[in-house]
């Protein structure tokens, strides 16, 4: 076990690096917030060179990322991630008022990671008629939502037109609401079924009202892992290529990583590095969301659940490695509100939203509530010593009065 004890304190020359090493997308975000200046100590000498890089704003490499996963010193990793988080966002912590809509759970993929998908004739299979999806969109909390988050199964019979009509119908009825819809996996499947190129499929979705894409379906890019957890999905390269095409068409997207199943540290590092490389190219990712695997009711239910230690560490490593991603989200539905709140001091700057109705994690045994009110999200953020900022999907500040919702542009 490494035994060198190092005292960490920020000299003023290191505290405000010239930002030369930071990517352009991030430079504009650097906050005037004064980062933590108290000394910090670690017994793990592997973290010393990483600390120096973080202080200087130098990019971490794959071996640094591995060392971060392998250290037990979660406080040291968290301290560094928090420093980066405060450089970028100060105390600001984002959340949004959104509604999830899952139009169908019918899915041909039968991924071992999933408890949500059903075969067409299986008990519990459902597909919403368009009117039903519109009613779902309108139901729930009376507060005006700013985002519909739409994902579903890979349905073998629903025509592409259903998805175009779903988005254009939502835009007609709720013109002010941002439509964040369809994972890269769904887009690739729709393209195949409609016999269109992925670019043309994305262009038609955009024309019908899709404003951006969620980050799901990325799982873990490594083939070895994908063969075990989701062998009928597009592979990692196809996921990345679809994201690249979306970004080229001007559609922002998020990216996820499903962790805590059969992947190892190297697989996680590989996943982060591939996302970072694509972001260098396109700048189209807004937010990274690590998703903890929930094994209940899946074919992998013999696997243990993730621990709090891994959940927090995953947030912190993501913040440190993905230096070109503006935001790291701790999705409270998946992490629990308590862990998500703590993660706001370990690198996360976003907690996601009100959600209202969540199916994917609850089918897999999640015990979190289905939704959370805006006031409760704000309370959790304030109790973490942070400043809650309601945002829209594009991270513009939302201001509410009794009668209006205004987005700063």
Q: Closest separation between CB of residue 205 and ligand V47, Å?
A: 16
Q: Give the span between the Cα atoms of 225 and 212, in whole angstroms.
A: 28
Residue ranges that bind ligand V47, judged by CB under 6 A:
113-116, 151, 183, 214-217, 219, 254, 256, 258, 289, 291, 293-294, 298, 331, 352, 360, 364
Residues in the chain: 409
Which residues are CB-neighbours of 56 under 8 A, at least 6 positions away?
14, 17, 21
Query: Which is closer to ligand V47, CB of 325 or CB of 331?
Result: 331
Q: Give the span between the Cα atoms of 391 and 197, in whole angstroms.
A: 33
Query: Which is closer to ligand V47, CB of 216 or CB of 388?
Result: 216
Beta-carbon count within 10 A of 297 CB: 13
Give the residue at shortest CB distance from ligand V47.
216
Query: Which is closer to ligand V47, CB of 234 or CB of 364?
Result: 364
Query: Which is closer to ligand V47, CB of 44 or CB of 211?
Result: 211
Find how far residue 349's CA is from the centre of its chain.
Answer: 11
Which residues are CB-neighbours of 233 under 8 A, at least 6 positions away?
109, 111, 185, 217, 219, 226
Query: Which is closer to ligand V47, CB of 44 or CB of 350?
Result: 350
Q: Closest separation between CB of residue 78 and ligand V47, Å?
A: 22
Query: Which is closer to ligand V47, CB of 136 or CB of 256?
Result: 256
Q: Closest separation between CB of residue 35 and ligand V47, Å?
A: 27
Query: Are the C-beta atoms of residues 292 and 335 closer than 8 Å to each other?
Result: yes
8-state DSSP, 33 = P
Q: Closest separation between CB of residue 42 and ligand V47, Å?
A: 31
Query: Are the C-beta atoms of residues 220 and 231 closer than 8 Å to each other?
Result: no
Q: Closest separation between CB of residue 116 and ligand V47, Å?
A: 6
Q: Closest separation between CB of residue 144 and ligand V47, Å?
A: 19
């Amino acid at each position: 076990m490494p035994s060198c004890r190092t005292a960490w304190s920020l000299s003023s020359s290191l505290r405000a690096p010239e930002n030369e090493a930071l990517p352009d997308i991030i430079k504009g975000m650097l906050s005037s917030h004064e980062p933590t200046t108290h000394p910090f100590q670690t017994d793990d000498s592997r973290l010393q060179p990483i600390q120096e890089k973080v202080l200087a704003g130098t990019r971490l490499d794959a071996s640094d990322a591995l060392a971060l996963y392998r250290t037990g010193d979660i406080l040291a990793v968290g301290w560094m991630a928090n420093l980066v988080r405060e450089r970028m966002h100060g105390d600001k912590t984002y959340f949004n008022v959104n509604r999830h809509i899952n139009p169908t759970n019918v899915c041909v993929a039968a991924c071992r990671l999933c408890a949500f998908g059903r075969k067409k004739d299986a008990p519990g299979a459902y597909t919403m008629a368009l009117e039903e999806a519109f009613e779902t969109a309108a139901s729930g909390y009376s507060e005006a939502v700013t985002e519909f988050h739409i994902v579903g199964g890979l349905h073998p019979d629903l025509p592409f037109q259903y998805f175009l009509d779903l988005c254009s119908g939502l835009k007609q009825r709720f013109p002010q609401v941002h439509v964040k819809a369809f994972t890269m996996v769904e887009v690739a499947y729709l393209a195949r079924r409609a016999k269109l190129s992925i670019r043309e499929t994305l262009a038609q979705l955009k024309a019908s009202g899709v404003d951006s894409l969620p980050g799901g379906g990325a799982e873990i890019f490594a083939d070895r892992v994908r063969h075990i957890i989701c062998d009928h999905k597009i592979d990692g390269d196809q996921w990345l290529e679809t994201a690249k095409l979306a970004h080229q068409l001007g559609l922002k997207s998020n990216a996820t990583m499903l962790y805590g199943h059969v992947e190892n540290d190297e697989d996680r590092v590989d996943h982060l590095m591939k996302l970072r490389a694509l972001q260098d190219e396109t700048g189209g990712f807004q937010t990274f969301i690590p998703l903890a695997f929930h094994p209940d009711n899946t074919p992998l239910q013999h696997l243990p659940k993730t621990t709090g230690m891994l959940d927090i560490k995953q947030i912190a490593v993501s913040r440190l490695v993905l230096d070109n991603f503006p935001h790291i989200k701790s999705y409270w539905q998946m992490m629990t509100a308590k862990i998500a709140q703590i993660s706001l001091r370990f690198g996360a700057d976003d907690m996601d939203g009100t959600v209202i109705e969540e199916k994917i994690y609850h089918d897999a045994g999640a015990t979190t509530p289905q939704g959370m009110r805006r006031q409760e999200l704000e309370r959790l953020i304030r109790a973490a010593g942070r400043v809650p900022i309601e945002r829209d999907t594009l991270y513009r500040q939302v201001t509410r009065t009794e009668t209006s919702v205004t987005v700063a542009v």
